[in-house]
Structure 1
Amino acid sequence: AAKAEYKGYPRMTIANNVFSNLDVRGPGLFRQGQFDVFNNSIDKFHLGFTATGNATILSQANYFSNGVDVSNKASNSGVLDDYGDAHFKDIGSNVSFTQKSPVTAWTPSYNRDVKTAEAARAYDLANAGAQVVK
């Protein structure tokens, strides 16, 4: 029923953000819709992506660092919590993903400035968040 109700919505772009010191998901929980997630810096995290509920996710050049598991031990095992009922693809992030869901062929219909994961991290740390107007 939800597939028919949502019909590809929401459609969201998540780009050039800094997610840090997260006890929960970052970039987030994705259900239904299409999600273009690129050039983000995710640091001190437990979970990165949670893919479920027919979501379509394109992850590109995201930089993950200092992940921990449920015992608070260093681990990147939580970069993708995949329930197997979404569509997911990663290109160029600095970690590998253990994927259960099918690989998506979807790409956004607009132009994007995708950097390398390392360049994105440097850009995000310098520019994301509230800035002082000069």
Structure 2
Amino acid sequence: MTAPERARAVLLHDGRETGLAFQAVQLEAQFGVPPDLSLLFLTDNSPYEEQLQIVLLDSRFQILDGLTLGQDYTPGVLTHLEPQSDMQLRFEFFGNTQLLLSIHPAGALLPVRTLPSFAKPLKGRFFSRQYMSLQKA
């Protein structure tokens, strides 16, 4: 017997498929980020052991950067999502843990990515240009 596969969501734009699919169930929020970028917050819609995916897309719907937040046996609910500026968002995911997401449109190639213990880059994005940073606020 195999483990059940996670749900797969296809991203649409103007009613047409973009060619992108995510291992997620629900689009929680989306933001336009200058210059012509899109920021998506996606979840599995399971508050008992939730995972949050944060994905930054360019104007052609190519993934520039992405993070996954989650911890085993830890509930997570995305709340208090508040833009701080065009390039920063503050939000909570694990109870009262405030997080600050910063967008860096030019990106940077850094040898080490510093993230909180419950966050990791999207699969396959370990040695890629970094367009986002996340820290506890």
TM value normalised by structure 2: 0.25
Greater strand share, structure number: 2
More contact order relative to length (CA 8 Å, sep ≥ 6) = 1
Greater helix share, structure number: 1
